[in-house]
Amino acid sequence: KAGVTQTPRYLIKTRGQQVTLSCSPISGHRSVSWYQQTPGQGLQFLFEYFSETQRNKGNFPGRFSGRQFSNSRSEMNVSTLELGDSALYLCASSPDLRGLYSGYTFGSGTRLTVV
Amino acid sequence: ILNVEQSPQSLHVQEGDSTNFTCSFPSSNFYALHWYRWETAKSPEALFVMTLNGDEKKKGRISATLNTKEGYSYLYIKGSQPEDSATYLCAFKNYGQNFVFGPGTRLSVLP
């Protein structure tokens, strides 16, 4: 079956712009979580959506937002981009909330570079 | 903020060697621990989901143990192969918190 699909794979944006990243989870998975990885940092939790509702949010500024659609696809938006937002953004899906019982299935990520 | 540590940070072993590394986490309010393998240019892949103190899980040559009372989990690889080269991540969750990922152990298996 198809895995977790993230688009685009690479993105270059200018400071001050906004960006939208997309994630299509595995069919039947209702939970979608987003993570940020920057050099020297572990995976940092951004937020989790389950059944179109944001269930949890990490310690990121309000410039980071997301949503989930009825087909479980999710989008993440970052407004007023800063250089420090340059990172690999990973989406992970799970059939259960927080991937507690089955773990997460990750996408390949979107590499965002802010110049 | 929960602190999840992994040691060593990186490891180089020869093909055929067995190896192990550690994930340390707060011992209070344990809920679950996951192990992932992240190969270069690929996505992190779930290896084990562990929820009970004393859990032992095995997948081929890789196994993991869990001690929630003292706050650690070990990952073992028996007879390492070059294809085992990857970064191994643990992710810890307690009640009321999201999963927190450790910084990872980068394993290189030399042929």
Task: For residue A100, give the nearest of B1, B32, B43 by CB distance.
Answer: B32
**From residue A109, how far is each of A5, A85, A115, B105 by CA, in Å?**
8, 14, 19, 20
Number of neighbours of residue A111 by Cβ within 10 angstroms:
15
**pLDDT tens, per residue, chain A with 115 residues:** 679 999 999 999 999 999 999 999 999 999 999 999 998 788 999 999 999 999 989 999 999 999 999 999 999 999 999 999 999 999 999 988 777 778 899 999 999 999 9
Task: For residue A98, give the nearest of B1, B4, B99 by CB distance.
Answer: B99
pLDDT at B69: 95
Contact A107 B34 (CB under 8 A): no
Whether residue B37 contacts residue B44, with contact meaning beta carbons closer than 8 Å, is answered with: yes
Contact B34 A42 (CB under 8 A): no
| Tens of pLDDT, residues B32-73 | 999 999 999 899 999 999 999 999 999 999 999 999 999 999
- Separation between Cα atoms, residue B105 and residue B36, nearest integer Å: 11
pLDDT at B101: 94
Judged against a pLDDT cut of 80, whether residue B96 lies above it is answered with no
Q: How close A57 gets to chain B, by Cα (Å)?
A: 9
Dig out the tokens for B78 from the structure.
Answer: 């028996």
Q: How close B55 gets to chain A, by Cα (Å)?
A: 14
User: What does the buried/exposed string (b/e) look like for B6-38 if buried means 16 or more CB atoms within 10 Å of the residue's CB?
Assistant: beeeebebeeeeebebebbbeeeebebbbbbbb
Residues of chain B with pLDDT > 70, as a percent, come to 99
Contact A103 B46 (CB under 8 A): yes
Strands A53-57 and A5-7: unpaired
Instruction: Mutation target for B interface from A106, A110, A111: give the one with most B CBs within 10 A.
Output: A106
Is A95 exposed, middle or buried, given 0-12, 13-18 or 19+ CB atoms closer than 10 A? Answer: middle
Q: How close A104 gets to chain B, by Cα (Å)?
A: 7
Judged against a pLDDT cut of 70, whether residue B16 lies above it is answered with yes
pLDDT at A39: 82
Instruction: Mutation target for A interface from B35, B99, B100, B105: give the one with most A CBs within 10 A.
Output: B99
Location of structure tokens 């079956």: A1
Contact A98 B46 (CB under 8 A): no
Instruction: Tell me what percent of chain B is helix, strand and coil, each rounded to the nearest 5.
Output: 5, 55, 40
pLDDT at B13: 97
pLDDT at B95: 82
- Separation between Cα atoms, residue A41 and residue B88, nearest integer Å: 14
pLDDT at A1: 62
Contacts of B49 (CB under 8 A, 6+ apart): A100, A101, A102, A103, B32, B33, B34, B57
pLDDT at B1: 63
Neighboring chain B residues of A108 at a CB cutoff of 8 Å: 42-43
**From residue A5, how far is each of A89, A99, B7, B44 by CA, in Å?**
12, 17, 32, 13
Task: Give the residue from chain B lying closest to A56, CA to CA.
Answer: B98
| Torsion (CA) B93, B95, B96, B102 in degrees, nearest 10 | -20
Q: What is the mean pLDDT of chain B?
A: 94
Task: At A83, give phi and psi (nearest 5°).
Answer: -55, -35
